[in-house]
Amino acid sequence: MSVPGASDQKPSKKDFVSDQDVRWCPGCGDYAILSQVQKVLPELGIARERFAFISGIGCSSRFPYYVNTYGFHSIHGRAPAIATGLKATRPELSVWIVTGDGDALSIGGNHLIHILRRNLDVNILLFNNKIYGLTKGQYSPTSEVGKVTKSTPIGSIDHPFDPIALALGAEASFVARSVDVETKHLQDIVRRAHHHKGTSFVEILQNCNVFNDGAFADVTEKTTKADATLVLEHGKPLIFGKNRDKGIRLRNFQPEVVALGEGISESDLLVHDERNPALAYLIARLGPPHFPTPIGVFTAVDRPCYEDGLNAQVIAARARQQPDLATLFNRGDTWVVR
Amino acid sequence: MPDGATSNSKRVEPRDRVVIRFAGDSGDGMQVTGTQFTTESALAGNDLATLPDFPAEIRAPAGTLAGVSAFQLNFASDEVFTPGDDLDVLVAMNPAALKVNVGDLKPGGILIVDREGFNEQNLKKAEYDRNPLGDGSLDRYQLFQADVTKLTSAALKDLGLSARAVFRCRNFFCLGMTSWLYHRPIGPSESWLSDKFKKTPELVEANIRALRAGYNFAENSELFAVSYEIRPATIAPGKYRNITGNAATALGFVAAARKAGRPIFLGSYPITPASDILHELSGLKQFDVYTFQAEDEIAGIGAALGAAFGGAIAITTTSGPGMNLKAETMGLALAVELPLIITDIQRAGPSTGMPTTTEQADLLMAMYGRHGEAPVPILAAATPADCFAMAFEAVRIAVRYMTPVILLTDGYLANGAEPWLIPDPASLPDIPVQLRTDPNGFFPYLRDQVTLSRPWVVPGTPALEHRIGGLEKEYLTGNVSYAPMNHEQMIRVRARKIAGIVRDIPPTEVLGPETGDLLVLGWGSTFGAITQAVRELGAAGHRVAQAHLRYLNPLPPDLGSILRRYRTVLVPEMNLGQLVRLIRAEYLVDAVGFNKIQGRPFKVSEIVSRCLRLLNGTTLEESVTEEHP
């Protein structure tokens, strides 16, 4: 693929590191995510100046300052709106939105669902740490009921929602989940998000070691993660567990965890199909306490992109009619005064 | 075929100006009737101004007072500045339309009604105890009762149309009658009908028949003994069309973007009375116009700002409630110093207020309605056609100074219309846009020495990658900085940049004597009423002048000296006194406010009488309401 504007030298990770000091808390999961993204970007065959990273407000939204591309750190929740205007008029750019559970799901919930519905070809990286970090520890829309935080000293009474299920409900064409410390898996998902044509929604489970440490310990701790994580692979049965001896089966339209062997074989299990939205809804509902947390690509389907439709209309209009100001000004009934 | 010539058997009287209002149920087609009468009048060579007045409800129950829709037109053989104060002619299709509008009809004025519309049911809906057509209550007017419904049916009887379809042709019967009465040519309306209903030829036939039937009825029946002639006005030569403020705004944006050589991006959420700009621009994609109907007001301006980052002429359009929602993004736009035009078609507030009516109460919000020190240039159009010029100017300033610009119009300008001298596109100035591509010596906030604007660098430009955002910037590099002195420097440089726009403001035009007893200072849509009032006062020998502000932030550099040349300054506004506050604060001039907050524009007579009281020595602040309790 020819890349206009690309330099002759092959780009590397350091080309995507800006000169600004990274100022997340030591031990924050954001460092790992930044590093994986910076590793993937140079591989994509896109000139650095063609990337634009747009963010809202929150810890995650500092991300653009640290990536040496074009970047826009905007206002709380509005990154999808700003990205929409940019991508709609500049479809050749590779546009990335970096956001968090508060930014995307609370104050910016409206913009999130509408960008997913319109399916602009942008990539959304949602760092979900189930807490408000930058404001120093209030519960978020993904915090569990009963969560004790600074603003909920006797426990949260807010029912949370699941970002994956929300994205699927908003007609997202690509929905995936990864984990901050799963470096290889995260790189693969980021790469796939880039290659998907349409809005790619990636929830990244991210540890806030200051205000919500260990929120995803079950999926990150060596001792528990194999049993607590279900790695989705297209065309493969839903198998998990340290010994890969457990699976997900559907009985009476209800998913259940079954042990392989004892009369149950792989052929009895659900087989993942990224092209099947109904299955994606079902898998999105899996998770603790009764199920492992699915990670990987839930769904990846083809759907027209908003910016393509918009640009096609502009091009078609130009083909139909000359953009002539005099014609425009003289439209309708006119009269001459002498 | 009727062509504007009248039969010899009836008397013809000359008139200098006529104010006519068509009023009926919102389903009666009064807006179409008024618009067609306007076109006919323009083609007859009169100067004119129009104002529609329609209910907020799409279809209030038929026949009720809430469902009355009206269209007013002032046409004359000399200059017209407003749609007119009091009516010479009222066409009322039903009792509700009569009740709502008859108070504006001059004594002796012409009142044309559809007699059959005054049935028991409609009278009840309009809350009449007795039929006003028979109780003498309308004796002070020239009442003409025509059986419009019956005559229309008779004219269409062999077409096989439903009763409902026939009923809907009544408005063209009325247009025919009034066209005869004022010697309007009906040919343009026939052409319009032929085009409008070209897919349903039976409706073309039906409406043209109704139009001609109305015309012939007026000519031949005994009802009208006199018709009126309004000679063509003396108007600057050239080619004209009638244009509403919203259409002119849209065209101004398109013209500016062409002159800047950039695409347009409009991010907008539907809101009355701004939506017509979105409608207009969405049909002009051949001019590289990208329109985006956003999920909300915030996304509308957010997407526009994103498009500005990408190099487009970025626009958002809204009305008052939407301005509140856009405030935070305006602050971001001025912090990242990207060009963006925010158009506020003001309407009566607060809150939802009276959405279809006009007001000028968003000036102080435009001026101060953002947190922090957040100066934004503010422009205001004075007339419907002036919306073109000010939209163009808003784009020019936004691009030259890399700043959000607020353009204020209002519901009265947006929906009102006047003849527009169609400009030659070649005569419009270019808007130079330089997208920086040179990496040598580049800093994101390196400022132009004259304008203090930073360079516009769009993503995709090699070797100029940089980050912008809402956090405070380091003066030159644009990196995040919390340094105390840097913050003050940035606050001051942003303020200086906006204040420096005065260098672009043309001298303020003063109409009337250079010094005198009274200066009437206005802004926005009060222009027409003030102009007419000042002319009348001048003609009566008073030393009264007028200045009208189209630049509200910064204010024109010559304004202070102008204000001091008059003994008194009067500021009429459709608010509780917003410009007057700015003027008093800025110039320490004891300007006097004159306020009307009724969702309706000032009448010329209201301004004249207020001026006269001032000239006679009363300087207390007054409102229109206090005059007419």
The answer to whether the Cβ–Cβ distance between B470 and A321 falls below 8 Å is no
Q: At what angle do helices B30-43 and B170-181 cross, to 10 degrees?
A: 30
What's the CA gap between B113 and B100, in Å, rounded? 14
Residue A46 has pLDDT above 90, yes or no: yes
User: What residues of chain B lie within 8 A of the CB of A313, using their CB?
Assistant: 285
Domain with CATH 3.40.50.970 in chain B: 242-423
Indicate whether A102 and A23 sit together in one domain.
yes
Which of B194, B467, B473, B474 to probe the A interface (max A CBs under 10 A)? Answer: B467
What's the CA gap between B581 and B621, in Å, rounded? 12
What's the CA gap between B548 and B571, in Å, rounded? 10
Residue B54 has pLDDT above 90, yes or no: no
Indicate whether A245 and A289 sit together in one domain.
no
3-state secondary structure chain A: CCCCCCCCCCCCHHHHECCCCCCCCCCCHHHHHHHHHHHHHHHHCCCHHHEEEEECCCCHHHHHHHECCEEEECCCCCHHHHHHHHHHHCCCCEEEEEEEHHHHHHHCHHHHHHHHHHCCCEEEEEEECCCECCCCCECCCCCCCCCCECCECCCCCCCCCCHHHHHHHCCCCEEEEEECCCHHHHHHHHHHHHHCCCCEEEEEECCECCCECCCCHHHHCCCCHHHHEEECCCCCECEECCCCCEEEEEECCEEEEEECECCECHHHCCECCCCCHHHHHHHHCCCCCCCCEEEEEEEECCCCCHHHHHHHHHHHHHHHCCCCHHHHHCCCCEEEEC
Q: How many domains, in total, are found in chain A? A: 2
Q: Which residues of A100-112 are buried (b: 16+ CB within 10 A; e: fewer)?
A: bbbbbbbbbbbbb
Q: What is the pLDDT of residue B183?
A: 95
What's the CA gap between A336 and B170, in Å, rounded? 31
pLDDT tens-digit series, residues A192-212: 999 999 999 999 999 999 999
DSSP letter for B456, please.
Answer: B
Indicate whether A179 and A305 sit together in one domain.
yes
Q: From the CB of residue B187, how many other CB atoms can be counted at a distance below 10 Å?
A: 14
* ipTM of predicted assembly, 2 dp: 0.96
Residue A1 has pLDDT above 70, yes or no: no
Residue with tokens 């672009």: B504
**Token couple for A208:** 């806030």
What's the CA gap between B560 and B519, in Å, rounded? 12
Contact B264, B281 (CB under 8 A): yes
The answer to whether the Cβ–Cβ distance between A70 and B241 falls below 8 Å is no
Strand partners, B144: B112
The answer to whether the Cβ–Cβ distance between B302 and A65 falls below 8 Å is no
The answer to whether the Cβ–Cβ distance between A336 and B242 falls below 8 Å is no
Smallest CA-to-CA distance from A74 within A57, A58, A89, A90 is with: A57
The answer to whether the Cβ–Cβ distance between A72 and B309 falls below 8 Å is yes
Residue B107 has pLDDT above 80, yes or no: yes
Contact B579, B361 (CB under 8 A): no
Contact A44, A13 (CB under 8 A): no
Range of the domain at A244: 237-271
User: What residues of chain B lie within 8 A of the CB of A335, using their CB?
Assistant: 42-43, 45, 239-241
The answer to whether the Cβ–Cβ distance between B306 and A86 falls below 8 Å is yes
Residue A238 has pLDDT above 70, yes or no: yes
Mean pLDDT of chain B: 94
CA-nearest residue of chain A to B468? Answer: A72
Residue B126 has pLDDT above 90, yes or no: yes
Q: Which residues of A192-227 are buried (b: 16+ CB within 10 A; e: fewer)?
A: bbbebebbbbbbbbbbbebbbeebbebbbeeeebbe
What's the CA gap between A197 and A69, in Å, rounded? 21
Angle at B507 between CA B502 and CA B510, to 5 degrees: 135
pLDDT tens-digit series, residues B538-587: 999 999 999 999 999 999 999 999 999 999 999 999 999 999 999 999 99
Contact B159, B199 (CB under 8 A): no
pLDDT tens-digit series, residues A70-88: 999 999 999 999 999 999 9
Q: What is the pLDDT of residue B4?
A: 46
CA distance B129 to chain A (A): 45
β-strand pairing of B47-53 with B313-318 = unpaired
The answer to whether the Cβ–Cβ distance between B258 and A320 falls below 8 Å is no
Indicate whether A246 and A197 sit together in one domain.
no
Angle at B226 between CA B220 and CA B230, to 5 degrees: 115
B466: Cβ contacts below 8 Å, ≥ 6 apart: A70, A71, B444, B457, B478
What's the CATH number of domain B11-229, 3.40.920.10, 3.40.50.300, 3.90.1580.10, 3.40.50.2300?
3.40.920.10
Indicate whether A41 and A154 sit together in one domain.
yes
Q: What is the pLDDT of residue B621?
A: 61
User: What residues of chain A lie within 8 A of the CB of B468, using their CB?
Assistant: 71-73
Interval A243-272 mean pLDDT: 95
pLDDT tens-digit series, residues B298-309: 999 999 999 999
Region of residue B623 (phi > 0: left; psi between -120 and 50: alpha; otherwise: beta): beta
Biggest distance spanned by C-alpha atoms of chain B = 88
pLDDT tens-digit series, residues B156-175: 999 999 999 999 999 999 99
Residue with tokens 């010596």: B441
β-strand pairing of A200-205 with A174-179 = parallel
Q: What percent of chain A has pLDDT over 90?
A: 94
Interval B385-399 mean pLDDT: 98
The answer to whether the Cβ–Cβ distance between A84 and B299 falls below 8 Å is yes
Distance of alpha carbon B223 from the chain centroid: 37
DSSP letter for B500, please.
Answer: G
B396: Cβ contacts below 8 Å, ≥ 6 apart: B256, B429, B431
CA distance A57 to chain B (A): 9
What's the CA gap between B428 and A265, in Å, rounded? 77
What residue type is assigned to position B297 of the chain? E
DSSP letter for B5, please.
Answer: -
Q: Which of B284, B299, B479 sits opposite A20 (nearest CB)?
A: B479
β-strand pairing of A334-337 with B238-244 = antiparallel
CA-nearest residue of chain A to B427? Answer: A326
CA distance B361 to chain A (A): 27
CA-nearest residue of chain B to A324? Answer: B287
The answer to whether the Cβ–Cβ distance between A335 and B45 falls below 8 Å is yes
CA distance B469 to chain A (A): 4
The answer to whether the Cβ–Cβ distance between B303 and A88 falls below 8 Å is yes
Mean pLDDT of chain A: 95
Q: Which of B251, B312, B462 sits opposite A89 (nearest CB)?
A: B312
Cα-based distances in Å from B553 to B75, B347, B366, B407, B495? 35, 20, 9, 11, 11
Q: At what angle do helices B297-309 and A79-89 cross, to 10 degrees?
A: 50
Q: What is the pLDDT of residue B618?
A: 62
Indicate whether A278 and A266 sit together in one domain.
no
CA distance B423 to chain A (A): 8
CATH number of residue A111's parent domain? 3.40.50.970
Q: Which of B237, B267, B469 sits opposite A338 (nearest CB)?
A: B237
What residue type is assigned to position A8 of the chain? D
Model confidence at B26, pLDDT cuts 50, 70, 90, reads: confident
Residue A7 has pLDDT above 60, yes or no: no
DSSP letter for B474, please.
Answer: P
Fold that domain B242-423 belongs to in CATH:
Rossmann fold (3.40.50)
Interval B280-293 mean pLDDT: 98
Q: Which of A51, A310, A328 sits opposite B254 (nearest CB)?
A: A328
B157: Cβ contacts below 8 Å, ≥ 6 apart: none
User: What residues of chain B lie within 8 A of the CB of A80, using their CB?
Assistant: 299
**Token couple for B17:** 């100006």
Domain with CATH 3.40.920.10 in chain B: 11-229
Q: Which of B285, B296, B312 sits opposite A313 (nearest CB)?
A: B285
Indicate whether A105 and A254 sit together in one domain.
no
Q: What is the pLDDT of residue B169?
A: 96
Q: What is the pLDDT of residue A2?
A: 40
Residue with tokens 């009906």: B186
CA distance A164 to chain B (A): 21
Query: Order of strands, edge to edge, in the sheet holding B544-549?
Result: B510-511, B544-549, B516-523, B566-573, B592-595, B622-623
Q: Which of A48, A320, A323 sits opposite B465 (nearest CB)?
A: A48
Q: What is the pLDDT of residue A3?
A: 45
pLDDT tens-digit series, residues A267-302: 999 999 999 999 999 999 999 999 999 999 999 999
pLDDT tens-digit series, residues B169-219: 999 999 999 999 999 999 999 999 999 999 999 999 999 999 999 999 999
Indicate whether A258 and A287 sit together in one domain.
no
CA-nearest residue of chain B to A62? Answer: B469
A301 is a domain residue: yes
A34 is a domain residue: yes
Q: From the CB of residue A138, how many other CB atoms can be counted at a distance below 10 Å?
A: 17
Q: What is the pLDDT of residue B629?
A: 35
User: What residues of chain B lie within 8 A of the CB of A328, using their CB?
Assistant: 251, 254, 284, 287
Indicate whether A174 and A303 sit together in one domain.
yes
The answer to whether the Cβ–Cβ distance between A81 and B461 falls below 8 Å is no
Angle at B62 between CA B57 and CA B66, to 5 degrees: 45
**Token couple for B382:** 């004075």
A250 is a domain residue: yes
Indicate whether A132 and A170 sit together in one domain.
yes
A147 is a domain residue: yes
What's the CA gap between B570 and B493, in Å, rounded? 34
Indicate whether A156 and A228 sit together in one domain.
yes
Domain with CATH 3.40.50.920 in chain B: 510-627
Distance of alpha carbon B591 from the chain centroid: 26
Contact A107, A77 (CB under 8 A): yes
pLDDT tens-digit series, residues B439-481: 999 999 999 999 999 999 999 999 999 999 999 999 999 999 9
CA-nearest residue of chain B to A306? Answer: B292
Smallest CA-to-CA distance from B6 within B176, B225, B183, B144 is with: B183
Query: Structure pTM?
Result: 0.93
What's the CA gap between B7 and B10, in Å, rounded? 6
Q: What is the CA radius of gyration of chain A?
A: 23
Contact A41, A51 (CB under 8 A): yes
User: What residues of chain B lie within 8 A of the CB of A321, using their CB?
Assistant: 286
Q: What is the CA radius of gyration of chain B?
A: 27
User: What residues of chain A lie within 8 A of the CB of B474, using their CB?
Assistant: none
Contact B326, B318 (CB under 8 A): yes
CA distance A160 to chain B (A): 23
Q: How many CB pairs under 8 A join A and B?
A: 209
Which of A21, A329, A330, A336 to probe the B interface (max B CBs under 10 A)? Answer: A329
A2 is a domain residue: no
The answer to whether the Cβ–Cβ distance between A49 and B460 falls below 8 Å is yes
Residue B622 has pLDDT above 70, yes or no: no
Model confidence at B625, pLDDT cuts 50, 70, 90, reads: low
A334 is a domain residue: no
Cα-based distances in Å from B625 to A106, B526, B591, B628? 46, 17, 20, 5
User: What residues of chain A lie within 8 A of the CB of B258, using their CB?
Assistant: 323, 325
Q: What is the pLDDT of residue A332?
A: 82
A87 is a domain residue: yes
CA-nearest residue of chain B to A3? Answer: B460
Indicate whether A124 and A243 sit together in one domain.
no
The answer to whether the Cβ–Cβ distance between B425 and A325 falls below 8 Å is yes
Which of B249, B287, B421, B479 to probe the A interface (max A CBs under 10 A)? Answer: B287
Interval B487-492 mean pLDDT: 98
Model confidence at A63, pLDDT cuts 50, 70, 90, reads: very high
The answer to whether the Cβ–Cβ distance between A337 and B235 falls below 8 Å is yes
User: What residues of chain B lie within 8 A of the CB of A332, using their CB?
Assistant: 241-242
The answer to whether the Cβ–Cβ distance between A317 and B468 falls below 8 Å is no
Q: Which of B239, B265, B296 sits opposite A89 (nearest CB)?
A: B265
Per-residue DSSP letters for B76-125?
Answer: ESS---SS-SSEEEEEESSHHHHHHHGGGEEEEEEEEEEGGG--HHHHHH
The answer to whether the Cβ–Cβ distance between A334 and B239 falls below 8 Å is yes
Residue A5 has pLDDT above 50, yes or no: no
Q: At what angle do helices B245-260 and B275-282 cross, to 10 degrees?
A: 50
The answer to whether the Cβ–Cβ distance between B307 and A70 falls below 8 Å is no
The answer to whether the Cβ–Cβ distance between A85 and B465 falls below 8 Å is no
| DSSP helix/strand/coil, B154 | helix
**Token couple for B45:** 């060579």
Residue B6 has pLDDT above 50, yes or no: no
- Considering the domain B510-627, what is its CATH architecture? 3-Layer(aba) Sandwich (3.40)
Q: Which residues of B312-335 are buried (b: 16+ CB within 10 A; e: fewer)?
A: bbbbbbbbbbbbbbbbbbbbbbbb
Q: Please give the backbone phi and psi of residue B17, each rounded to the nearest 5 degrees, phi first.
A: -150, 150
A331 is a domain residue: no
Q: Which of A48, A314, A338 sits opposite B288 (nearest CB)?
A: A314
| DSSP helix/strand/coil, B406 | strand
Residue A152 has pLDDT above 70, yes or no: yes
The answer to whether the Cβ–Cβ distance between A310 and B458 falls below 8 Å is no
